[in-house]
């Protein structure tokens, strides 16, 4: 299920992982501000993580940043995703934060459950949803499950799986520069040129507003690969065969840069455009 275009949608905020939590927590502070600042009510979904401390740790971070309430809803099993008390926490939230870990743990636990339905419904109704690392990848309809490092695309370099479908515009990868993931993002584009491949460096986020304007926030860069004008793509028959791509457009966006999803036009930070985040 994908999201219908509507100005009532919330912000979608994929984060490349390892976001700063204490010194200069620019991304998390902006997320709290978008969610209402001192009136923000944030639900945390730590399902992707194996650590019992992940949810409580983020509760502390968001409370320190001034949120009125932050509460972890630890969906550990599919049965948990039917828990009405925890679903009510989601329904009463102005923002939802999905932590890092394993995106496959997210998909096999939450996919197809009432919790997944609520996340999509709440996003459509204006609740803001952020996800870091695995939580960012899970936002896509077409999710990168795992893959190999390397700058050049090769056959079978990446495995795909269904995500939660909060966006059908992007396939999102994270820890991008740090883990050398350009090749696998380009391989995804060879499989499906319609989508935009997004690679987020650590401590870097894309604040995607309800009208389709993306703003980069953080300390790294956001790499976008656009296959809308792709002229040719090859996929080899054997794993490791090189992949040819002709006509791919690539953007490297620094903090403050923007991207218009509808027109697929990028704007550097110094030139500026209307900033949906700052309009709140």
Catalytic positions: 133, 175, 202
Which residues face 71 on adjacent strands?
A: 43
Determine how many CB atoms are found less than 10 A away from the CB of residue 50.
9
3-class DSSP state of 27: helix
**Are the C-beta atoms of 128 and 157 separated by less than 8 Å?**
no
Q: What are 117-122's contacts with CB under 8 Å, separation 24+? A: 118/87, 118/90, 118/91, 119/90, 119/164, 119/166, 120/1, 120/3, 120/164, 120/165, 120/166, 122/10, 122/90, 122/91, 122/93, 122/96
């Amino acid at each position: 299920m994908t999201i219908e275009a509507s100005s009532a949608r919330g912000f979608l905020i994929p984060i490349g992982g390892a976001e700063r939590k204490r010194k200069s927590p620019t991304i998390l502070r902006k997320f709290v501000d978008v969610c209402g600042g001192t009136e923000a009510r944030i639900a945390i979904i730590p399902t992707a993580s194996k650590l019992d401390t992940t949810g409580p740790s983020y509760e502390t971070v968001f409370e320190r940043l001034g949120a009125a309430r932050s509460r972890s809803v630890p969906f550990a099993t599919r049965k948990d995703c039917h828990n009405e008390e925890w679903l009510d926490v989601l329904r009463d939230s102005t923002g939802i934060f999905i932590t890092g870990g394993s995106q496959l743990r997210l998909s096999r636990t939450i996919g197809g459950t009432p919790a997944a339905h609520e996340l999509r419904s709440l996003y459509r109704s204006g609740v803001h949803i952020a996800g870091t690392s695995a939580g960012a990848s899970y936002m896509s309809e077409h999710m990168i499950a795992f893959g190999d490092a390397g700058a050049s695309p090769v056959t079978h370099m990446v495995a795909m799986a269904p995500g939660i479908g909060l966006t059908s515009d992007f396939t999102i990868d994270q820890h991008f520069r740090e883990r050398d993931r350009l090749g696998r993002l380009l391989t995804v584009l060879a499989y499906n040129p319609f989508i935009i491949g997004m690679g987020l460096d650590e401590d870097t986020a894309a604040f995607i507003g309800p009208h389709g304007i993306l703003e980069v926030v953080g300390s790294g860069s956001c790499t976008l690969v656009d296959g809308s004008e792709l002229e040719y793509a090859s996929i080899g028959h054997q794993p490791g065969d090189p992949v040819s791509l002709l006509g791919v457009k690539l953007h490297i966006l620094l903090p403050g840069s923007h991207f218009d999803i509808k027109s697929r036009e990028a704007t550097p930070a110094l030139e500026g455009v209307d900033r949906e985040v700052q309009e709140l």
